Chains A and B, each alone.
Chain A
Amino acid sequence: MAEPHLIAEYVDRLASKLAFDPVLSQRVRREAEDHLWEDVSADPAGGGPEAERRAVEKFGDPDGMAAQFAVVSLARQARGVGVATIVGIAAVFVAMKARLTWYVVTEYATGQSGKLGEVVVTIDRYAFWLSVLVAIVGWLYIGACRVPTALTSQYRRQLRRFALLCLAGAGALIGSVISDGVLTSLRLGGTRGSLDVVIPVGSMVIEIVCAAGLVRSIRGMAQRATATGRVARPG
């Protein structure tokens, strides 16, 4: 009869408990495997299934460990979204500036925008700087939150506040991108098939992709937070 590979079974079980975060799961598997084999080799009995059993027993309950890892994973995801928000906004800013510079360099003839154009420019400006402000506040906020050992109600509240800040920032950024779209179409109005429209249209595509990516990353965080929250024990 084949000997049971207790360590392999144990690390498989532990890794499967952390399936909500594949990178973390892989890392924990490696660390736990190294630890357990190190313990077996230090066992006075000199290895064997009994030493494996002792090592696994000393290592502890995988459910309890997964619950603690889940909180760290949530914190990491939240910080990642904070960084993604700032990077997304910066990319939109660069695309916007590139388009405006292109207009100046090529002395691009402007379409008739009139009063509507002025209103949209104002909305664009305020929406963009609001998104910058909210993103910075959110990033600083989540960075200052201390990660607890268990998913406490206070930490849940902090994560919820952060998610709201991200949503507000993304909402403002979407407002700014829509305004940019309106302004670009007003400016390019009447242009037919000219190569000069490539840069403005290309920069608009970049802005839309960035805004969509940001919404996707916030949605991903919310979904993963729900999955992680199921594993993390409330503290």
Chain B
Amino acid sequence: MLKGHLDMIVLAALAAGPAHGYAVIEEIKRRSSGAFELPEGTIYPVLHRLEHAGLLAGRWTTADSGRRRRVYELTKRGKRELGERRAVWEQFSEAIAGLFKGSRSWQSPT
């Protein structure tokens, strides 16, 4: 299930501002209170795919350590896409919550 929503999760993690891959994965862990545990490298194909789709923009910077680092940020299209996905998710989540709220034990038809 997590795999199917990885794009939305990454977009949401980058909503706070530009970040590199490691920071994105740390942000996902922090915001999900560690619920989303996935192989950390998985994030990179997603970042590349979202960049290819024009939802993210990437640029190379130099970290304090002197290593080259690619920083990603949401593009206008990415922000719009995140907004749309959030709306769909909230609608879906409300509908499911409604279903659970309305559940009651069945009475046997005696």
Contacts and interface: CB of A to CB of B under 8 A. Distances in A.
A190 B70 CA distance: 61
Interface in B2-53: 3, 6, 20-22, 39-42, 44-46, 48-49, 52-53
Nearest to A61: B39
Contacts, number: 80
Interface stretch (A44-52, A65-73, A202-210): A65-73
A154 B42 CA distance: 22
A146 B7 CA distance: 12
A115 interface: no
A68 B70 CA distance: 19
A95 B71 CA distance: 41
B71 to A, nearest CB: 11
Contact of A35 (B22, B45, B48, B65): B22
Given A33-B67, A58-B39, A147-B49, A28 B22 contact: no
Contacts of B42: 60, 64-65, 68
A32 interface: yes
B52 A147 contact: yes
Interface in A111-159: 146-147, 149
B69 interface: yes
Nearest to B48: A72
Contacts of B70: 27, 30-31, 34
A14 B45 CA distance: 13
A102 interface: no
A35 B52 contact: no
A108 interface: no
A226 B42 CA distance: 24
Give the size range of A's interface with the partner: 20 to 34
B41 to A, nearest CB: 4
A37 B20 CA distance: 13
A60 B40 contact: yes
B49 A60 contact: no
Main secondary structure of the interface of B (DSSP, over half): helix
Contact of B44 (A28, A61, A75): A28
Nearest to B54: A143
Contacts of A39: 22, 40
B1 interface: no
Contacts of A37: 65, 67
Interface in B44-88: 44-46, 48-49, 52-53, 63, 65, 67-70
Contacts of B48: 24, 69, 72
Given A24-B48, A34-B63, A59-B40, 17 more contacts: A31-B70, A34-B21, A34-B67, A34-B68, A39-B22, A39-B40, A58-B39, A58-B40, A60-B40, A60-B42, A62-B41, A65-B42, A68-B42, A72-B48, A75-B49, A75-B52, A149-B6
